[in-house]
């Protein structure tokens, strides 16, 4: 990953008239844009990614954190999407253990409700076949009660068990960018595209906002790939007035693990609308989600959960665990993300919209939107395929891995805790060992109930293009979401780290702290 010094060095080069000509300019720093950059540099293209906010600021830090095939997509007959998703899931599990990890899912079966045991058995048989594994089974109520203490089995006929995977979505983006940059790609966060650069009605690059110097930078390329997700129509509409993206909001609650102890994922149908709601462990906490609603608010303002969504999710949990009586006061934090779904028919139930992606070509602007976190590699390949007639011949390459195979093991990284070492390897790749070596012994200790440590904060501030405190607490790590009051217990340590690594003085730290508190209260609180 680039650090803040190399980011500044790249901007300096551009201001001096260098590094302005590229084969491909990618707009959007979420998982789709990162995936396109990874595949572009693999093919020998000079490629740069620009993002108007922070990397993964939008949807790619606010998903449900699941790498899965999508049972409901299979149930709806979308076999191709499910097959591709499951194949990519297995690839990610093999290439990035510690970042993408398999986890058990239990889907409760309600008495007299669809789907029943037989239907789920058929669905899961196909699911396993596509994945090339066999790990589903039926679970009786007694076993379910043992696995999930406090669950009400009054109206249940057991559950169906299968496996999928969990991920830290924002860290996935950072890892893909890390691999891309190691192979010659470049990436700039907080770099907004003001407009497309046109040459006789054909796209010839972008005009980039240079906020530091109150000016603009002109980057040239025969291909611009618009990978801005829910924002895709905005850039495309400079050339084509068509509206194709339907923004849908999905919101989640984070609850202390001791109130809702979870080791597996539980899926139950909401009593109000029969939508599936997940309860699952994540980063030392328990998450309840998600909703699925049209999002009509300004996309440049962070999405946030509504009071109605909070109650909807609390009702879902309390229905399944009636003795829990969770309330707003039990919530640590929340998050809401906006999914880019292809389809503008707002009369259609949002949950019934297809989740596959689409690409459009408009005179050198390739727009790609929609799709799933799991299939980002395939989405990237489709975007590049749409641009191939505008690009030089790609270089030959021998492998197609996303993440370079590490030469270290989890035990070598952290001999006293190999599992944690594997986690660091998955999240940081080969630099995991250096990350620990550059930190003090105190900084290597886990924080609260999480597996994050201050060593990760120091590394991110030093090497991962951190510009603001919210970058550090909400995306490079998730400490701001998993600790009480946005992580105020570690503010003194973070002040020391940020002032040392980012060159902030006390005044700048105070300004960043106030900025962060405002963001957290408005968009991550409840």
Nearest to 81 by CA among 68, 63, 100, 94: 68
CA 471, 472, 476, 481 dihedral sign is negative
- Residue 71 domain-assigned? no
159 and 29, same domain (yes or no): no
CA distances from 520 to 473, 488, 495, 523 (A): 10, 11, 17, 5
pLDDT per residue as tens digits for the range 352-365: 666 689 999 999 99
pTM (predicted TM-score) = 0.96
β-bridge pairing 156-167 and 186-188: unpaired
Q: What pLDDT, on the 0 to 100 scale, is given for residue 343? A: 78
32 and 151, same domain (yes or no): no
pLDDT per residue as tens digits for the range 227-286: 999 999 999 999 999 999 999 999 999 999 999 999 999 999 999 999 999 999 999 999
β-bridge pairing 293-294 and 223-226: unpaired
- Residue 220 domain-assigned? yes
Nearest to 265 by CA among 60, 66, 115: 66
369 and 479, same domain (yes or no): no
Which residues span the domain enclosing 233?
A: 4-59+170-244+354-390
- CATH classification of the domain holding 19: 3.50.50.60
149 and 261, same domain (yes or no): yes
Number of independent structural domains in the chain:
3
- Residue 412 domain-assigned? no
Share above pLDDT 90 across residues of the chain, in percent, rounded to a whole number: 90
Q: Across residues 44-54, what is the average pLDDT?
A: 97
130 and 264, same domain (yes or no): yes
Q: Across residues 306-313, what is the average pLDDT?
A: 98
Q: What pLDDT, on the 0 to 100 scale, is given for residue 212? A: 82
- Residue 358 domain-assigned? yes
- Residue 87 domain-assigned? no
User: What is the average pLDDT value for the chain, to the nearest integer?
Assistant: 94
Q: Does residue 76 have a pLDDT over 80?
A: no
- The SS3 of residue 442 is helix
137 and 257, same domain (yes or no): yes
158 and 264, same domain (yes or no): yes
- Residue 252 domain-assigned? yes
Give the integer Cα–Cα distance in Å for 158 and 148: 12
| Token pair belonging to 382 | 């489709």
142 and 279, same domain (yes or no): yes
């Amino acid at each position: 990953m680039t650090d803040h010094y190399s980011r500044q060095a790249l901007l300096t080069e551009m201001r001096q008239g260098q590094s302005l000509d590229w084969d491909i300019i990618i707009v959007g720093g979420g998982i789709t844009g990162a995936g396109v950059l990874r595949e572009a540099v693999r093919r020998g293209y000079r490629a740069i990614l620009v993002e108007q906010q922070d990397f993964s600021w939008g949807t790619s830090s606010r998903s449900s954190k699941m790498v899965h095939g999508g049972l409901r997509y299979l149930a709806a007959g979308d076999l191709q999407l499910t097959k591709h998703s499951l194949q990519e899931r297995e690839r990610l599990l093999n290439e990035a253990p510690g970042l993408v990890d398999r986890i058990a899912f239990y889907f409760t079966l309600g008495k007299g409700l669809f789907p029943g045991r037989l239907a789920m058995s058929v669905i899961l048989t196909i699911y396993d076949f596509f994945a090339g594994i066999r790990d589903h089974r039926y679970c009786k109520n007694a076993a379910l009660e043992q696995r999930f203490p406090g669950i009400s089995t009054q109206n249940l006929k057991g559950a169906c068990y299968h496996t999928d995977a969990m991920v830290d979505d924002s860290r996935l983006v950072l890892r893909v960018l890390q691999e891309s940059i190691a192979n010659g790609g470049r990436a700039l966060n907080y770099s907004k595209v003001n407009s497309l650069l046109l040459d006789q009605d054909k796209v010839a690059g972008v005009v980039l906002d240079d906020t530091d110097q109150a000016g603009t930078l002109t980057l040239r390329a025969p291909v611009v790939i618009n990978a801005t997700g829910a924002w895709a129509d905005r850039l495309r509409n400079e050339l084509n007035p068509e509206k194709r993206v339907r923004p849908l909001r999905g919101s989640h609650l984070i609850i202390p693990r001791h109130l809702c102890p979870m080791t597996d994922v539980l899926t139950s149908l909401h009593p109000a609308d029969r939508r599936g709601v997940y309860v699952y462990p994540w980063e030392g906490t328990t998450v309840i989600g998600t909703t699925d609603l049209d999002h009509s608010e300004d996309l440049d303002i962070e999405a946030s959960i509504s009071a109605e969504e909070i109650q909807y999710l609390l009702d879902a949990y309390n229905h399944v665990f009636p003795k829990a009586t969770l309330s707003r006061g039990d919530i640590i934090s929340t998050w809401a993300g906006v999914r880019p779904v292809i389809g503008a028919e707002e009369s259609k139930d949002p949950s019934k919209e297809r989740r596959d992606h689409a690409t459009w070509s408009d005179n050198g602007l390739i727009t790609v939107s929609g799709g799933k976190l799991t299939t980002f590699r395939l989405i990237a390949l489709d975007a590049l395929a749409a641009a191939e007639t505008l690009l030089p011949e790609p270089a030959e390459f021998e492998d197609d891995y996303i993440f370079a195979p590490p030469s270290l093991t989890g035990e070598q990284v952290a001999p006293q805790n190999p599992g944690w070492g594997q986690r660091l390897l998955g999240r940081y790749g080969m630099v995991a060992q250096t990350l620990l070596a550059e930190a003090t012994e105190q900084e290597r200790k886990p924080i609260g109930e999480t597996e994050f440590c201050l060593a990760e904060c120091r590394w991110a501030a030093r090497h991962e293009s951190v510009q603001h405190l919210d970058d550090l607490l909400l995306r490079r790590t998730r400490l701001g979401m998993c600790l009480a009051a946005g992580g105020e217990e570690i503010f003194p340590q973070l002040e020391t780290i940020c002032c040392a690594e980012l060159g902030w003085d006390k005044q700048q730290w105070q300004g960043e702290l106030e900025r962060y508190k405002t963001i957290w209260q408005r968009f991550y609180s409840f």
